[in-house]
Amino acid sequence: MKLSAIKDLLSADVIFGEDMLDSINVETAFASDLLSDVLAYSKENALFITGLTNPQVIRTVEVLDLVGVLFVRGKVPQMETVELAKRKGIPLLRTKCIMFESCGRLFTAGVKASRIMVD
Protein backbone atom coordinates (compact mmCIF):
# COMPACT_ATOMS: atom_id res chain seq x y z
CA MET A 1 0.00 0.00 0.00
CA LYS A 2 1.22 3.45 -0.90
CA LEU A 3 2.33 5.87 1.83
CA SER A 4 -0.24 8.32 0.47
CA ALA A 5 -2.99 5.78 1.21
CA ILE A 6 -1.61 5.29 4.71
CA LYS A 7 -1.73 9.03 5.21
CA ASP A 8 -5.46 9.04 4.35
CA LEU A 9 -6.21 5.91 6.35
CA LEU A 10 -4.78 7.38 9.55
CA SER A 11 -5.61 11.03 8.88
CA ALA A 12 -1.90 11.65 9.18
CA ASP A 13 0.07 14.85 8.69
CA VAL A 14 3.07 14.70 6.47
CA ILE A 15 6.06 16.16 8.31
CA PHE A 16 8.47 15.50 5.47
CA GLY A 17 8.41 13.75 2.11
CA GLU A 18 5.09 14.81 0.54
CA ASP A 19 6.53 14.19 -2.92
CA MET A 20 7.64 10.65 -2.00
CA LEU A 21 4.28 9.37 -0.77
CA ASP A 22 3.12 7.94 -4.08
CA SER A 23 6.41 6.31 -4.94
CA ILE A 24 6.91 4.38 -1.70
CA ASN A 25 5.06 1.13 -1.33
CA VAL A 26 4.63 -0.27 2.17
CA GLU A 27 4.19 -4.01 2.40
CA THR A 28 5.36 -4.60 5.95
CA ALA A 29 5.61 -2.65 9.20
CA PHE A 30 7.29 -2.86 12.60
CA ALA A 31 5.84 -1.03 15.62
CA SER A 32 7.93 -0.45 18.73
CA ASP A 33 9.15 2.14 21.18
CA LEU A 34 12.35 0.22 21.76
CA LEU A 35 14.98 0.90 19.12
CA SER A 36 17.04 -2.10 20.17
CA ASP A 37 14.05 -4.32 19.49
CA VAL A 38 13.62 -2.83 16.04
CA LEU A 39 17.29 -3.47 15.40
CA ALA A 40 17.00 -7.00 16.69
CA TYR A 41 13.82 -8.03 14.94
CA SER A 42 12.71 -5.84 12.05
CA LYS A 43 13.51 -6.72 8.49
CA GLU A 44 14.33 -4.21 5.78
CA ASN A 45 11.76 -2.20 3.81
CA ALA A 46 9.31 -2.02 6.71
CA LEU A 47 7.47 1.12 7.82
CA PHE A 48 8.60 2.02 11.33
CA ILE A 49 5.73 2.89 13.66
CA THR A 50 6.82 4.53 16.92
CA GLY A 51 6.19 7.09 19.62
CA LEU A 52 9.89 7.91 19.92
CA THR A 53 10.89 11.30 18.56
CA ASN A 54 14.69 11.55 18.86
CA PRO A 55 17.19 11.47 15.97
CA GLN A 56 18.20 7.89 16.73
CA VAL A 57 14.89 6.90 15.15
CA ILE A 58 16.27 8.09 11.83
CA ARG A 59 19.65 6.42 12.39
CA THR A 60 17.84 3.17 13.04
CA VAL A 61 15.80 3.56 9.86
CA GLU A 62 19.01 4.12 7.95
CA VAL A 63 20.87 1.21 9.50
CA LEU A 64 18.02 -1.17 8.71
CA ASP A 65 16.94 0.27 5.34
CA LEU A 66 13.38 0.94 6.50
CA VAL A 67 11.11 2.99 4.21
CA GLY A 68 9.78 5.66 6.55
CA VAL A 69 8.50 6.59 10.00
CA LEU A 70 4.94 6.92 11.27
CA PHE A 71 4.83 8.78 14.59
CA VAL A 72 1.81 7.72 16.63
CA ARG A 73 -0.10 9.22 19.57
CA GLY A 74 0.34 12.64 17.98
CA LYS A 75 4.03 12.75 18.83
CA VAL A 76 5.95 15.56 17.19
CA PRO A 77 9.51 14.59 16.25
CA GLN A 78 12.34 16.79 17.51
CA MET A 79 13.65 19.40 15.09
CA GLU A 80 16.97 17.57 14.87
CA THR A 81 15.10 14.41 13.92
CA VAL A 82 13.26 16.15 11.10
CA GLU A 83 16.47 17.76 9.86
CA LEU A 84 18.23 14.41 9.77
CA ALA A 85 15.30 12.78 7.95
CA LYS A 86 15.40 15.55 5.34
CA ARG A 87 19.10 15.03 4.81
CA LYS A 88 18.63 11.30 4.42
CA GLY A 89 15.43 11.51 2.35
CA ILE A 90 13.28 9.55 4.79
CA PRO A 91 9.54 10.38 4.81
CA LEU A 92 7.89 11.19 8.15
CA LEU A 93 4.16 10.91 8.93
CA ARG A 94 2.33 11.72 12.15
CA THR A 95 -1.04 10.46 13.31
CA LYS A 96 -3.10 11.10 16.41
CA CYS A 97 -4.12 7.43 16.49
CA ILE A 98 -2.54 5.34 19.22
CA MET A 99 -0.15 2.60 18.21
CA PHE A 100 -2.72 -0.20 18.51
CA GLU A 101 -5.27 1.61 16.35
CA SER A 102 -2.63 2.56 13.76
CA CYS A 103 -1.42 -1.02 13.49
CA GLY A 104 -4.97 -2.36 13.38
CA ARG A 105 -5.99 -0.14 10.49
CA LEU A 106 -2.84 -0.90 8.51
CA PHE A 107 -3.17 -4.63 9.12
CA THR A 108 -6.79 -4.60 8.00
CA ALA A 109 -5.70 -2.75 4.87
CA GLY A 110 -3.22 -5.52 4.05
CA VAL A 111 0.08 -4.39 5.56
CA LYS A 112 1.88 -7.39 7.03
CA ALA A 113 4.19 -7.74 10.02
CA SER A 114 7.88 -7.27 9.30
CA ARG A 115 8.36 -10.31 11.52
CA ILE A 116 5.56 -12.50 12.86
CA MET A 117 7.28 -13.63 16.04
CA VAL A 118 10.74 -13.70 17.59
CA ASP A 119 12.60 -16.96 17.83
Residue 23 or 54 with smaller CB distance to other proteins: 54
Q: How many CB atoms lie within 10 A of CB 77?
A: 23
List the one residue out of 5, 52, 55, 57 whose CA is nearest residue 26: 5
- Does 76 sit near other proteins (CB under 8 A)? no
Binding mask 37-56 for other proteins (x = CB under 8 A): x-xx---x-----x-x-xxx
- Does 87 sit near other proteins (CB under 8 A)? no
Q: How far is the CB of 63 from other proteins (least distance, A)?
A: 5
CB 6 within 8 A of CB 93: yes
Q: What value does the CA radius of gyration of the chain take, rounded to a whole number of Å?
A: 13
Q: How far is the CB of 37 from other proteins (least distance, A)?
A: 6
CB 100 within 8 A of CB 16: no
- Does 28 sit near other proteins (CB under 8 A)? no
Task: Point out which residues bind other proteins (CB under 8 A).
Answer: 33-37, 39-40, 44, 50, 52, 54-57, 59-60, 62-65, 80
